[in-house]
Amino acid sequence: MTYFCSTYGVYYLMFSTFPVLFGETYGFRPGVGGLAYLGLGVGFMVATFVGARTADQIYKKLAERNGGKGTPEMRIPALVLGSLFIPIGLFWYGWSAQAKLHWIMPIIGTGIFGFALMTTFLPIQLYLVDAFTYAASATAASAVFRSMLGFAFPLFGQQMFDKLGEGGGNSLLAGLAIVIGIPFPIWIYFKGAEMRARNPLTR
């Protein structure tokens, strides 16, 4: 949950860079600037269909190997798969913007990030529903926490990018995504059942 909440913060932090990047660097007028968000939208749409179907297939295959019985941890491989694309999207967005390449390049980067964000969001939500007895409370707590980080991250975003540049700032965020987003889901995949057995709120 912590991983997704931090990624959600990065998502809103990316939003805060759009007006400066596409307005000042690429000369998008206010009426056209909103089109920069299409990359994220396309990424979300692709992930909703392709990512959800892939995650479902992975879950079913793992459940079949387990005698037809699914566990919450079987949601995690799809999460790991999606988490690999988050740093790719951030590196692509940051360094193409830093190099002032054609405006479509950073938008493609946001599309990759949007795909990754939704591909990780779905397995995390399903894991919370499967793992917790009070699933509605767990998902509500997740929504509150990620909304708090979505509020907090943009507060320091512009200062960070002013100091590190688009490439350096997004590389820092991509590095954090690698450190948090790849090892911890793998750890939960192998140790999640053991942790759930010790927690009275999980099943």
CA distance 86 to 99: 20
Note whether residue 203 is domain-resident.
no
Give SS3 for 23: helix
Task: Report pLDDT digits (tens) over 105-161.
Answer: 999 999 999 999 999 988 888 899 999 988 899 889 888 988 888 888 888 877 888
Q: Residue 29: left (phi > 0), alpha (psi -120 to 50), or beta?
A: beta
Note whether residue 25 is domain-resident.
no
CA distance 11 to 118: 11
pLDDT at 33: 79
Count of CB atoms within 10 A of residue 114's CB? 25
Note whether residue 17 is domain-resident.
no
Quote the domain boundaries for residue 185: 2-11+38-197
Q: Give the residue from 85, 97, 83 showing the smallest Cα distance to 169.
A: 97
Read off the pTM: 0.90
Instruction: Place 1 in a pLDDT band, splitting at 50, 70 and 90.
Output: low
Note whether residue 32 is domain-resident.
no
CATH code of the domain in which 61 resides:
1.20.1250
